[in-house]
Chain A
């Protein structure tokens, strides 16, 4: 199942953070085999919270792995599970393989190449993984549009900025033909623009196709420190007295809904 995370705006909807937490919970909590990747060229931060390095600042770390290496192999031969895994960084005890983004420095070259190959490449992943999570470029982007066309589920990342939500429904909604899940990141439950009122205002946003990822200082700090996996493991079974309880509870609820919508029903790691 391919799940594409996309946002109508860059930098406001916590799209990459949301992709991280949802994929981690799918792997660690629901114990499903996942591949996590992204198609951004730069200004993205998918790898560093997981492995403490990102593709533009630490080229040695990502030598011979990543989407560039996989694209080369894909052009040369039919890829198999071993080839994909060799290009990924396996995140120990998470059931997640991370396929790092590009290290190329020429945007045009990257976008030309990846635009042609990525949709076909990502289709291949379906054969080997239960869920493929793709953090796609925000706003109007040809590659993102192609990825969303083939996706089992498009997770539209929005914020509590009603201007952005209005803009999405006016300008982008009609272009997405597949199933859509609305995910509100950096969520503040004390705002008047809480999820209950958003569902009342926008009838298309319902209980079953929407969720929230609350703002959480601990998770933010863990992202900066490259310790998100440790954060999720430590807080997975936390109780109400833990300050991260609300964040974990809502993130797990959103993950379960997303997985259910994508096509395979899950509850607490068991398939039902």
Chain B
């Protein structure tokens, strides 16, 4: 790493990135048309089936007995729920059990009817159980669309800022870094079919934020090294490689640090919900976010930026000579 020449390996990085992103798009498109979703949209967004048990306090003083009864019936019917929640009603309580949409409706209906029969016969007849199918359209999916628009606008803002603050080739490289890293993260999510819920969504945002912060470090190093008398004589490739090596540690710390902060939060929350799904999607989301950002910003971007810089320097040199010739 102390002597690694990122710029020389551009063609390798380009192949790796292109292949991964292409596979991700291909897998996503196949799953979109065959399984109905580009990503494996998690529980928050998918349609589902429910068995809802409304019980009266005169029949059952708390929900433990009801849950036990329902678990027995579900086991007998050969179905299992992925989530359940309890709520209070005016006469008692209500338990809702959520099942994946792929669960057999007939089995669920029979289980619901069986539970209904048991609780009515055991109690005063005020308790009941019913089956339902809930069709969601990505739930509050508008938020995803607006978020995509907002992130795109934010990336565009970074481009404009870098163009003013540094130069156009730096702005182009930063823009490419954002797009590349986010595409890579999404491709990894699509390929691995990790449940795409709020945790995965949050880590996508972390990828963009970590890229924005890390690219600030990298371009600042490039700018400082360009101003140094000794280093300004280096070729664009050597300058970019040196700056990448100097900022690699910062990029890694930022990416891993932000991903770890997110992981700590979601893993702690998963303790309360006892949700292996949340732990899995959080852990993998964190790993993909950190990897995408480190690879994209510290390795891929310098090799691209070196080429942009070379083109820009050559253009300046040619233009400068032509202007001098005209003056003369």
* A and B assemble together: no
Residues in chain A within 8 A of chain B (CB atoms): none
